Amino acid sequence: MTMPDRSFPTDFVWGAATAAYQVEGAVHEDGRSESIWDRFAHTPGTTFHGDTGDVACDHYHRYREDVALLAELGLGAYRFSVAWPRVIPGGTGPVNEAGLDFYDRLVDELLAKGIAPFVTLYHWDLPQVLEDAGGWPLRATVDAFAEYAAVVAGRLGDRVRHFVTFNEPRVVATLGYEDGIFAPGRHDLDDGLAAAHHLLVAHGRAVQAIRAVAPDASVGIVLDIVPKQSASTEMLDLESAAAAQERHDRWFLDPLTGRGYPPDPPENSWRHLIRDGDLELITAPIDFLGVNYYTRDIVRSPMLPPLPAVEREKTGFGWEVYPEGLGEVLRFVASRTGDLPLYITENGAAYPDHPSDPTHDPERVRYLRRHLAALADARSTGIPVRGYFVWSLLDNFEWIFGYSQRFGIVHVDFATQERRVRDSGRFLEAVARSGRLPAEPSTAGD
């Protein structure tokens, strides 16, 4: 059976994404201060192999080459993040013009090549000085973020048309403050819940701050939404799956869309932090929502014995390949956002390199093809997705997994910093240039 070609409109945005700490390197240059990820990655035992973002892809110095790659691949947009510790090294107070200049140069380079910058203000690299003062569980961090947002939008907002306040606040709150797996490595449920609330309030304050200085820019936020599916029809599994969805996905999407927070147990101590006006701030209109989608979670109640393992297709990272989930996530999101424009702000896969040729990546091509098919099908049902960003432009520092997981459509040799476009890059280029996802004979599992 042959599937039909799927097409995308000519104004559909095709892009690639990165994040500051994962690609920039140059951590001591031009007045940048320490971030929580510098501190965390330099703490023994936190990352694979002790890897850090000290050098990463050296994007700070090689950004022209990287922008040229985006242009070569026919991509019309680049989603990158700004490192707060470069811009306001003290967390609040004096602006470091030299740090801000880097983003100025990057934006100009992009625009000169006809590539739209999508600027994320926070992709996890809080200035360490603010963590030392209390971090996201502390209300003062909200004020600091609003100040920082105004500075960045004030400098770039004459040219940047899309700002993202936060990338994946759920990961920041849960992995960073509640589970202690990511920076800053705190392990306290109430800290996680307090951080989550402050991240959302900070988002609302940043929306205001950006609109005040860059009234023509669109502003949004990026959420990671993972479909939570019950491992069985047993009541305990169904309840566990619903609870996971409340704590992870609805916890952010519901207040942002005016539904307030889902209920949680009264022994959780954080609701006293909600001040008058907070929920209105969080719900203030945005111009788009970004959705990061990689895989699903199959939820088994901890009260039930494990089920026998089921053979499922996985990426090299061990994440299940589940393209249908992209449509499921978009339907779930659209049930709350209606006709608000959506972007897939991250989607991609890590696979080990083929030893003979690391640019030959048929698994990643197949992953992208199947997810783009799911995206086209979701669009054809009327879900207003306006663009797609692959994660990632480059192999980069994959957080606690260091350089062991490669997500790039461009291969990076970290010894020489040589970049080489992978087959997946050429594949995305062909789709972006033609606006068509070519038909392919279906194979088992498609």
Closest separation in Å from C-beta 413 to ligand GCO: 19
Closest separation in Å from C-beta 345 to ligand GCO: 8
Closest separation in Å from C-beta 272 to ligand GCO: 30
Q: Which is nearer to ligand GCO, 19 or 149 (CB)?
A: 19
Q: Which is nearer to ligand GCO, 15 or 157 (CB)?
A: 15
Among 168, 178, 363, 398, which one carries the catalytic annotation? 168
Closest CA to 144 of 100, 93, 74, 97: 93
Q: Which one-letter DSSP state was computed for residue 91?
A: S
Record the tokens describing residue 337, joined without a space.
Answer: 């956002």
Q: How far apart are CA 318 and CA 294, in angstroms?
A: 11
Q: Which is nearer to ligand GCO, 63 or 389 (CB)?
A: 389
Specify whether 440 is catalytic: no
Per CB under 6 A, residues contacting ligand GCO are: 19, 22, 167-168, 171, 224, 292, 346, 391, 398, 407
Q: 3-class DSSP state for residue 110?
A: helix
Closest separation in Å from C-beta 232 to ligand GCO: 28
Q: How far apart are CA 166 and CA 113, in angstroms?
A: 26
Q: Do β-strands 6-7 and 436-437 pair in parallel, antiparallel, or remain unpaired? A: antiparallel
Closest CA to 78 of 25, 121, 115, 111: 115
Q: Which is nearer to ligand GCO, 167 or 240 (CB)?
A: 167
Closest CA to 322 of 383, 367, 379, 376: 367
| CB-facing half-sphere around the CA of 84: CA atoms within 13 A | 31
Q: How far apart are CA 332 and CA 316, in angstroms?
A: 27
Among 24, 131, 346, 363, which one carries the catalytic annotation? 346
- Provide DSSP, 234-292: SHHHHHHHHHHHIIIIIHHHHHHTTS-PPP--TT---GGGPPTTHHHHHHS--SEEEEE
Q: Which is nearer to ligand GCO, 128 or 292 (CB)?
A: 292
Closest separation in Å from C-beta 361 to ligand GCO: 16
Q: How far apart are CA 324 and CA 313, in angstroms?
A: 13
Q: How far apart are CA 270 and CA 15, in angstroms?
A: 38
Closest CA to 411 of 354, 367, 344: 354
Closest CA to 102 of 116, 125, 128, 83: 83
Record the tokens describing residue 276, joined without a space.
Answer: 């008058």
Q: Which is nearer to ligand GCO, 102 or 391 (CB)?
A: 391
Rg from Cα positions in the chain: 21
Specify whether 313 is catalytic: no
Q: 401: buried, middle or exposed (CB in 10 Å: 19+, 13-18, 0-12)?
A: middle
Closest separation in Å from C-beta 403 to ligand GCO: 12
Closest separation in Å from C-beta 385 to ligand GCO: 18
Q: Which is nearer to ligand GCO, 139 or 314 (CB)?
A: 314
112: Cβ–Cβ under 8 A, 6 or more apart, which residues?
none
Closest separation in Å from C-beta 445 to ligand GCO: 23
CB 320 within 8 A of CB 296: yes
Catalytic residue annotation: 168, 346
